[in-house]
Structure 1
Amino acid sequence: SFTLNQQVLFLLFHCIASSWTVKVPSTVKALVGSCVVIPCSFDYPSPQKVVRQFTGIWADETSHVIYHPEERKALVQYRNRTKLVGDLHGKNCSLKIDPVQTSDKGPYHFRIEIAQYNNYSYKENAVSPAVLVLKEEARLGDSVSALCSVSHTCPEFPPHFTWSHAGQKEVQHKIEGALWTTTSTLIFQVGHSDHNKPLECTVSHRGGTQQTANTVLSVKCKTLYCHIYIYIGVSIGAALLLLSILLLVVARK
């Protein structure tokens, strides 16, 4: 038989392990015209019976539906653009938005409806996409983000990114189907010395395989005004390693 302390610990563990919880990032970067996958996993209190029918819904802060398996129930502007890519039976509620529009800023939250059991909206955990617009030029002193993305199949050993330019670096991982996508973001300010300077991203994989994507930055000045023009060149290696580089202009604050 259980002692009193064992019973208390068991009840405490049961409450922690079985509750209405969700894991989503507070924000994800999303490029206008491209797609974005919002990673999401959820949990719920263990029912006393077998449940088989799940309905996953995504909504905005005013509870207007942006995704529903019955498309007519979603807002018109999100129809044919939102898709649940996660398996609800596996407690995966990941959402795909394709293509991304400038208005897709959220915040969005997930709602689960379990037939003959219960429903719950995870409003306290919302995600707000950081929507980026691709531009061809930036003024001198602007903050420029360079994104280098690669698809791979070994999440235990993610690829390593090396940039030829100094700056702030961020790395983001996401999964879609059987492929993982890892993206490295380099943020730096445009300067006079960037004229004709190559910007190179090198990706190193487990086993020694490497790939490189590169571009040349061209800064043009006229009196007091300078612009940076971006010419993109991509080098692609092995078939499974899909490498691309995008340069995005982020407005200064």
Structure 2
Amino acid sequence: MVKEGIKEDCNYSSVSLLCLPSANAVGWNIEVPESVVGLSGSCVLIPCRFSYPENGKTYTEFKGIWLKGNEESTVFHTDASNIIDSFKGRTSLNGDLGKKDCSLKISSLSSSDAGSFIFRTEIKDLDKYTYKNKEKKEIVSLTVKETPENPNVSVEEEVTSGKPVTATCAVSHSCPSDLPKVTWSHDGKQSSPSQPQNHGQWKLTSYSLTFTPSREDHNKHLSCTAEFKGKTLTDYKTLKVKCKSPPLSNTIVIYSISVIIMIKMFVFKILSFKTVITTIHFVISDVQELYFFFQNNTI
């Protein structure tokens, strides 16, 4: 969202900023979301890009300042000595002011960090400017969430025993540089997390596990646990494992071969030029052999 700012004809003070807006604010614009949501204990990034009236000139010296609430609290300043104690060491610019990137990163979030924020820039040889909306109010609202979203496990509805399969665990978070610790309930090869993708105001990162299920895994849970700075959440899917068609046992193979040989011998003896009595003798003998074979090789 592009918002118009308010130009001020006064000097900046880290304690207070009580100035009347100038009528001329052409060229001073900013792009920020109206609100962001961060996770307590993690970090959050407020994306921000600003513009100023360049008038065909090049400016190289910038100061970036982020103010909170009623503008009496300086949460970030190019000169760190101006930052209030509760934010010192926890804020930084994630971009380059010379490239018009004013994105603010706040680490180790707590519920007390929630509130409204305003960006201000001071450009040497140009002017000072505090960006507000038309109602002369804050430009960004920060909400701190105490509980993250549950991770989401995905795996095939039915897997095959002995055949490798890949499962994924999608985790939402507010800070790509502070990813949660993810563990799986099953042994396997874990891949590197995917590049974070936009998921509303949060990011979505996927973790993969390649494993080989066994018959013992049938109806067991495949769980993914995500740990967010002491907050632990788990999701799972119940594995449905089907078995491969078992190979023929040695008994079956031997039996099949024996039957084929006996049949061929039987046919040969019937068609031979031997006497009928001899043929009957061989037939009875073969039948007996088959009978004893079935008796001793029942499957």
TM (normalized to structure 2)?
Answer: 0.43
Distance 2:28 2:75 in 1: 21
Q: Which of the residues 32, 41, 45 maps onto 2:53?
A: 45
Q: Deviations over 1:29-82 (max 9, x none)?
A: 111111111111111112343211011110013112110121121111111111
Distance 1:52 1:174 in 2: 30
Equivalent runs, 1:1-253 vs 2, <5 Å: 19-63=27-71, 64-124=73-133, 126-134=139-147, 145-146=149-150, 181-184=196-199, 203=206, 211=208, 232-233=224-225, 247=233
The offset of 1:88, in angstroms, is 0.6
Structure with the bigger percentage of helix: 2
What letter is aligned with 2:59? V
Question: Unaligned regions of 5+ residues in structure 1, if any?
Answer: 1-17, 135-143, 149-161, 165-170, 186-200, 204-209, 213-230, 235-244, 249-253
Distance 2:233 2:198 in 1: 13
What letter is aligned with 1:233? T
Distance 1:133 1:20 in 2: 36
| Distance of aligned partners of 1:71 and 1:180 in 2 relative to their CA distance in 1, 3 Å threshold | farther
1:172–1:183 contact (8 Å) kept in structure 2? no
Question: Unaligned regions of 5+ residues in structure 2, if any?
Answer: 1-25, 153-167, 178-193, 210-222, 235-299
The offset of 1:202, in angstroms, is 9.1
SS at match of 1:72: helix
What letter is aligned with 2:208? Q
2:115–2:143 contact (8 Å) kept in structure 1? no
Q: Who is 2:273 aligned against?
A: none
Greater gyration radius: 2
Distance 1:202 1:67 in 2: 29
Structure with the bigger percentage of strand: 1
What letter is aligned with 2:64? G
RMSD of aligned alpha carbons: 3.6
Distance 2:70 2:144 in 1: 20
Distance 1:76 1:110 in 2: 19
Distance 1:175 1:51 in 2: 32
| Distance of aligned partners of 1:202 and 1:121 in 2 relative to their CA distance in 1, 3 Å threshold | closer
How many residues align? The count is: 152
What letter is aligned with 2:197? T
Distance 1:74 1:97 in 2: 13
1:51–1:114 contact (8 Å) kept in structure 2? yes
Distance 1:45 1:175 in 2: 33
Q: Deviations over 1:137-192 (max 9, x none)?
A: xxxxxxx83367xxxxxxxxxxxxx999xxxxxx999887xx9632547xxxxxxx
1:54–1:115 contact (8 Å) kept in structure 2? yes
Distance 2:29 2:233 in 1: 36
The offset of 1:119, in angstroms, is 1.1
SS at match of 2:196: strand
